[in-house]
Structure 1
């Protein structure tokens, strides 16, 4: 039986990459002809799955990532792995799953429109230099045989920036549990949640879900609803600079129309209490929250730098705007409001679009890729 090493540095129960890894491990535990080895710094135990925990001592973020990469390479070599899939930027892996996108593309998006001082601060950060150098080394390494991209957006970034042939970039969208994220289940607590947070039952509500408010555009979401007095916004997630966003809402005169509800273990009910989903992200390789919202029957407003935008049909299941175009965002909110009589129909179409994006389908595509790569390697011997 061939051995597949899967590399992910740390575990976050809410993390998209972690859910992907867990889905692969569950499938392989039930068969599949591959024996998995999880190489990690920190992970919850998975019954029936062998794990190699590597934890170099900590001397800052650059040392953390460099030390883990060095230890992970040693671990997969000692284990005699036949195939290595890394979710971290580690030169020498066979497959890289670019679930976090391309760091160079994220930096470019983050610095767009920033002051020279902000650009200087970024340039002086050694972690970005390390990431850019390591990312390039990985994509140009002769061992790299495939890149799993969770959107066409990511594939285009990889091929354009690093010259990786498009044929080696497999687009496999993230799976979504459409049985769990179902409009009927999501809306069970709609009236209760609206009452709890003081939102009128007939008010038009947009919901945002995610952490990292700067990257995912919470400020833009606040500005987008400012011109529309009837709209309420529910922000689900946490951020170290939450107070700054509360102040911005007050400055815009919308403090009474915005609810910051913090991180939530189960976000399904918050999709259900809303009438639309908004994610004005600066850079999002896919955005599983987009697929979850669509599965819950919501039209979506997101940015052109979100991979999940590829799932939308403009004006039918949602709207797309440049991340930093405030006027465009306000117009899209206006279009969403004007479509109120079609929200149910739009939600049905949105759900139909993502129903085929199951976890099982996602893992099946990955397993097919593993088998093809192993077969090609055998053929060369």
Structure 2
């Protein structure tokens, strides 16, 4: 049986003094935002920070409930929720239980979660649907590994928590960052479609702009890349999900192209060995995490991200705003924006023949420039101001009802 959420115990008590501090703000709508780990360089965390700023601008009292965070540490705005855990199931279940208990004890008017927590009132489905991710992951596993995945206590817990959350009577709204995610939720769970709000992420079109091409030569020199070679870029961490393995195998059949990977993965050594085995050492650069990824868009000719599963990565919006065509997959939320041979390509990562052909086409500088120009036009309306207006309307609706 899937693991169950534990019942409250003595360790769940919250000190009375801390409660008084929070209740002093009772004259304003009080909103809790739940996120296990909060660091300002993460894509999901940037959305959390934007939401905090939007709500504060409206005069609401916003509190972050987190296990770990980087940035501000004001006790008036952050509640630390770090219950003991020894397993992945305990990490998820105990945080979910304790975070929701804290939210109830502080009597927030709205509890917004970015984790799968049954009982929250607003959920942002930034991680998509766990069930759909597992279905995609199984496609690259053998029979034994597939069975082990299905028997995993952690994944069984996540599937249970996901279903309980989406079907919980307390859930009033779900923010979906792509049509793909919205459809997956509607198809797999008993939930009123009126609770599903499609709100795409925004992108800073002034910062991510085709003029980043001025950084092309300096970044290529830094990475020891030929100035005239086609260069593909992949941005993000968790390379299995991003489709790096499939990209490397396809790249081996496109000898003119180079690949730069910005991000991290715990199994980076495995990918270095694969790069060497495929004879790609001279053509692939693992650039690590970068404080500023914008110049790397300027150095590239296309963004390649044939994800096994990705709700909608910010890197795709950033690349398109910078004037790059995008190669992605049918299981990436970016299919809301990408049209074949218009502003990029959509390829199944397990269809190597189609993936290789798309990469070959993107080595044509004239074609990639044309697709990139159309990509820029596609995302120009999706500014942070537009995102703010959509979120403001949603919050106003939820707090007024």
TM-score, length basis structure 1? 0.93
Check the 8 A contact 2:54/2:392 in 1, yes or no.
no
Check the 8 A contact 1:205/1:233 in 2, yes or no.
yes
* 1:92 aligned partner: 119
Check the 8 A contact 1:7/1:88 in 2, yes or no.
yes
Matched, 1:131 2:173: no
Matched, 1:201 2:227: yes
Q: Match for 2:172 among 118, 122, 145?
A: 145
> 1:363 & 1:43 partners in 2: Cα distance?
23
Check the 8 A contact 1:282/1:303 in 2, yes or no.
yes
* 1:284 aligned partner: 310
The 3-state SS of whatever aligns with 1:255 is coil
Check the 8 A contact 2:303/2:324 in 1, yes or no.
yes
> 1:4 & 1:142 partners in 2: Cα distance?
19
Correspondence list, 1:110-259, <5 A: 110-184=137-211, 186-259=212-285
* 2:382 aligned partner: 357
Shift, 1:100, TM fit: 0.5
**Structure 2: runs of 5+ lacking an equivalent:** 1-27
Matched, 1:375 2:400: yes
> 1:242 & 1:40 partners in 2: Cα distance?
28
Correspondence list, 1:96-111, <5 A: 96-111=123-138
> 1:93 & 1:270 partners in 2: Cα distance?
38
- Greater mean alpha carbon deviation, residues 2-11 or residues 249-258: 249-258
Shift, 1:155, TM fit: 0.5
> 1:359 & 1:64 partners in 2: Cα distance?
33
- Greater mean alpha carbon deviation, residues 255-264 or residues 286-295: 255-264
Q: Match for 2:391 among 366, 377, 380?
A: 366
Shift, 1:198, TM fit: 2.0
- The 1:12–1:33 alpha-carbon spacing in structure 2 relative to 1, beyond 3 Å, is closer
Check the 8 A contact 1:288/1:308 in 2, yes or no.
no
Check the 8 A contact 2:327/2:344 in 1, yes or no.
yes
Matched, 1:273 2:299: yes
> 1:343 & 1:109 partners in 2: Cα distance?
29
Check the 8 A contact 2:256/2:363 in 1, yes or no.
no
> 2:381 & 2:356 partners in 1: Cα distance?
32
Per-residue CA deviation, residues 2-50 of structure 1 (Å, 9 max, x unaligned), is: 1111111111333222101101112233x31422121111223448862
Equivalenced residue count is 373
The 3-state SS of whatever aligns with 2:282 is helix
* 2:367 aligned partner: 342
- Greater mean alpha carbon deviation, residues 255-264 or residues 291-300: 255-264
Shift, 1:55, TM fit: 1.4
CA RMSD of aligned residues (A): 1.7
Shift, 1:154, TM fit: 0.4
Matched, 1:304 2:342: no
Per-residue CA deviation, residues 238-297 of structure 1 (Å, 9 max, x unaligned), is: 222222222222322322111122221211111111101100110000111111111111
